[in-house]
A and B are shown apart, each in its own frame.
Chain A
Amino acid sequence: MTDSQHQTQQVPLLRVEELTVRLRGEAGIVHAVSDVSFQLQRGQTLGIVGESGSGKSVMARALMGLLPRRATHLMEGSVSLAVDGRVLELLKLSEREFRTLRGPRLAMVFQDPMTALNPVLTLGVQIAEPLQLHLGLNKAQAMARALELLTQVGIPDPEGRLRQYPHQLSGGMRQRVVIAIALACDPQVLLADEPTTALDVTVQRQVLDLLLALQRERQMGMVLITHDLGVVANRADHIAVMYAGRIVEYAPTSRLFSSMRHPYTEALFKSVPRLSDPSHTRLHAIPGRPPQLIDPAPGCAFAPRCPNAQQRCRRETPALAQIGDQHLHACFYPIGSKEVGA
């Protein structure tokens, strides 16, 4: 291991500790993110998997400082980012300070490329703007760099595209442009929130492969958020499974797939239709649906749907505990434990 690698092992690029976010919703206070902790090293990809409403996007927006203050009822915990040998505590930053980080330090790719682009500006202007703002390039330099970026994300005829508007591109191309913008200032951390959910399967794979290649090339830390285990299976170094605002299992990817312990992880895994199953194979559905995050009941949030649930699960909330090398779960009666009755 080289010295620099050794150092990054010591100080993680991004460290999230007990992040809790509560939002003011129409029907009450939404416990969107509860006690979420993880670390991200340089050059690594963390996959975050969970059903819709499990708090993935709120968490990502919290890390980016993008949650509207008025809607935020509570934000607790710590998010620290290693920047040039210093450690910045992001939750304490003002909006102005945050703005200087977005782009060169932290960048985000959203699910819907159309909402991330300005419909009335040409792509060239949209890519060049942050370069002028953050890197102090002049207009010609910024345009030259924009051209380079479009080429890197695999857009054919990049010169012509610089003068086009977002609606003139297909969904897959738009997402490539969004990625180009996110990468323009060479961020250290890239948060990709369902970057391919809105795209066709064929294009999905292209865009995911592109993201990974760029991540490796630039040694960024990447958080890849998805509801589809298949998306992260071959791509993430670690996976965190979220349910009702909490991480319920965390492990290196291969370990998660070979020895998952949390009943929700297993249920999620089994409910995915497989190409290898014969036609008309009955699917393992998870009964019921995810809980509302307003006034959460005491106990484990998965208890109403969990095949292993027992009395204790309805009284106490299981904490995320280490069960092996880098493998954590939050469950009283995990898969394979003796106490689980037949």
Chain B
Amino acid sequence: MSETSNPQLRARDDIVLKVEHLVVTFDVGRELVQAVSDVSFDIARGETLGLVGESGCGKSTVGRAIMQLPPPKGGKVIFKGQDITQLEGEALRKTRTALQMIFQDPISSLNPRRRVKDIIAEGLQIWERPNQRARVEEVMEAVGLDPETAADRRPHQFSGGQCQRICIARSLALDPDVLICDEPVSALDVSVQAQILNLLEDMKARYQLTMVFVAHNLAVVKHISDRVAVMYLGKLCEIGSVDAVYQHPSHPYTQALLASIPELETSQEDAIPLLQGDIPSPMNPPSGCRFRTRCPKAQAICAQQEPAMQASPSGIGDHFVACHFPG
């Protein structure tokens, strides 16, 4: 596969994380699934990048590839100027402490046999950091857990929302630069979801975090992100600031995603055409533009030629779209 050009990568000196031509494949039986195909984006210091798309489009795989869990098949992950896909052993493990990840199912990502304070202190112990106890108490308080009552308890004594707080505290203990959140509120009730989203915003400000926020709920992503990247079948379709992507969605897929959100206001249903059919199998993606089998605007060229990333017709800065007929 030939590499595409990447006009969406920004020439700024405060880029903390840059992903270039990322490719991740999985062996499924005798076949090879390309879960992520040539994805590139960057994140500036203090930014939150929202990553959206339907189930199976490769969002989590991108998140894990950034963490080198496992290292991607192709492409670069440049963290603070260094391509970490080239790192191994101790150097990689050390760099990973600066990149932390939290997941959708907080309960199963905590060891049920360990006490909360030990779970949070784990990284501190491995890296023999000083003042471990004080640091554990600091982050527990930050995430709204009372060290007095919570430190000696075990995960099963907490609700899903509380467990997500524990996971967040654990991820913050080593003072990371980047926090990758993979659907951190999808399994939570709306009321608790709002608590955790507010908490993540607070933590970002308090610890100067740069974030990747993976989710399929576009309203949630809008609330927390500065920029948004939309994925479809392992490809990036559109990327831009929240305002650009939500006010001027330029890719037919982004438009369809936005149209399908259930809204609270009891307005009558709008006339935007809904997506028909299901996402095709990634084993055997459509030729040309991968969205063409569901796209209301598809033309002959869409089957022949893969659309390259180009500036969006919105005219808004740093807004890019991969479509032959954007707008």
**B191 touching A279 by the CB < 8 A rule?**
no
Q: Which A residues are CB-close (under 8 A) to B201?
A: 280, 282
Query: Does A286 sit at the interface, judged by CB under 8 A?
Result: yes
Nearest CB on B from A285, distance (A): 4
Of B220, B226, B266, most A-chain CB atoms within 10 Å: B266
**B278 touching A234 by the CB < 8 A rule?**
no
**A51 touching B279 by the CB < 8 A rule?**
no
B247-284 contacts to A, CB under 8 A, are 256-258, 260-269, 274-279
Q: Which A residues are CB-close (under 8 A) to B193?
A: 271, 273
Query: Does B154 sit at the interface, judged by CB under 8 A?
Result: no
B213-233 contacts to A, CB under 8 A, are 216-220, 222-226
Q: Which B residues are CB-close (under 8 A) to A271?
A: 190-191, 193-194
Residue of B nearest to A229 (CB): B264
Nearest CB on A from B282, distance (A): 12
Q: Which A residues are CB-close (under 8 A) to B267?
A: 234
**B197 touching A283 by the CB < 8 A rule?**
yes
Contact digits for A29-59, partner B, Cβ 8 Å, 1 yes 0 no: 0000000000000000000000110000000
Residue of B nearest to A208 (CB): B262
**B264 touching A269 by the CB < 8 A rule?**
yes
Query: Does A111 sit at the interface, judged by CB under 8 A?
Result: no
Query: Does A201 sit at the interface, judged by CB under 8 A?
Result: yes
Q: Which A residues are CB-close (under 8 A) to B258?
A: 275
Please judge, given known A-B contacts A204-B262, A254-B266, A283-B198, whether A268 and B191 are in contact too, CB under 8 Å: yes
A201 to B52, CA, bound (A): 11
Q: Which A residues are CB-close (under 8 A) to B222?
A: 273, 275, 277, 279
Residue of B nearest to A199 (CB): B55
A170 to B294, CA, bound (A): 15
Please judge, given known A-B contacts A51-B190, A273-B220, A275-B222, whether A202 and B54 are in contact too, CB under 8 Å: yes
**B223 touching A204 by the CB < 8 A rule?**
no
Q: Which A residues are CB-close (under 8 A) to B150?
A: none
**A268 touching B190 by the CB < 8 A rule?**
yes
Contact of A203 among B190, B194, B198, B278 (CB under 8 A): B278
Of A156, A206, A271, A285, most B-chain CB atoms within 10 Å: A285
Query: Does A315 sit at the interface, judged by CB under 8 A?
Result: no
A282 to B220, CA, bound (A): 11
Query: Does A172 sit at the interface, judged by CB under 8 A?
Result: yes
Query: Does B243 sit at the interface, judged by CB under 8 A?
Result: yes
Nearest CB on A from B311, distance (A): 22
Please judge, given known A-B contacts A201-B218, A272-B190, whether A228 and B266 are in contact too, CB under 8 Å: no
Residue of A nearest to B162 (CB): A289
**A206 touching B274 by the CB < 8 A rule?**
yes
Interface size class for chain A? 35 or more
Contact of B223 among A173, A254, A257, A283 (CB under 8 A): A283
Contact of B219 among A52, A171, A254, A275 (CB under 8 A): A275
A253 to B79, CA, bound (A): 50
Please judge, given known A-B contacts A200-B216, A273-B223, A277-B223, whether A285 and B194 are in contact too, CB under 8 Å: yes
Contact of A230 among B195, B256, B262 (CB under 8 A): B262
Interface size class for chain B? 35 or more
**B189 touching A201 by the CB < 8 A rule?**
no
Contact of A289 among B161, B224, B264, B278 (CB under 8 A): B161
A123 to B3, CA, bound (A): 43
A51 to B192, CA, bound (A): 10
A200 to B279, CA, bound (A): 10
A281 to B189, CA, bound (A): 19
**B278 touching A275 by the CB < 8 A rule?**
no
A205 to B260, CA, bound (A): 6
**A201 touching B191 by the CB < 8 A rule?**
no
Nearest CB on B from A218, distance (A): 21
**A201 touching B216 by the CB < 8 A rule?**
yes
A204 to B243, CA, bound (A): 25
Contact digits for B138-165, partner A, Cβ 8 Å, 1 yes 0 no: 0000000000000000000001011000
Query: Does A92 sit at the interface, judged by CB under 8 A?
Result: no
Nearest CB on A from B288, distance (A): 21
Q: Which A residues are CB-close (under 8 A) to B257?
A: 201-202
Query: Does A312 sit at the interface, judged by CB under 8 A?
Result: no
**B278 touching A172 by the CB < 8 A rule?**
yes
Q: Which A residues are CB-close (under 8 A) to B189?
A: 51-52, 227, 290
Residue of B nearest to A253 (CB): B266
Query: Does B36 sit at the interface, judged by CB under 8 A?
Result: no
A52 to B217, CA, bound (A): 18
Please judge, given known A-B contacts A280-B201, A289-B192, whether A200 and B54 are in contact too, CB under 8 Å: yes
Nearest CB on B from A54, distance (A): 9
Nearest CB on B from A203, distance (A): 7
Please judge, given known A-B contacts A200-B55, A200-B216, whether A275 and B260 are in contact too, CB under 8 Å: no
Query: Does A284 sit at the interface, judged by CB under 8 A?
Result: yes
A275 to B228, CA, bound (A): 14
**B260 touching A173 by the CB < 8 A rule?**
no
**A201 touching B274 by the CB < 8 A rule?**
no
Contact of A170 among B198, B223, B268, B279 (CB under 8 A): B279
Can you name 22 A-B residue pairings with CB atoms under 8 Å? A51-B191, A170-B279, A172-B278, A201-B216, A202-B260, A202-B275, A203-B54, A206-B275, A209-B274, A227-B189, A229-B264, A231-B262, A234-B266, A234-B268, A268-B190, A277-B223, A279-B224, A279-B243, A283-B194, A283-B197, A285-B191, A289-B159
Q: Which 3 A-B pairs have the closest CB atoms?
A: A230-B262, A285-B194, A286-B191
**Residue positions of A touching B, CB distance < 8 A:** 51-52, 156, 170-173, 200-206, 208-209, 227-231, 233-234, 253-254, 257, 267-269, 271-277, 279-287, 289-290
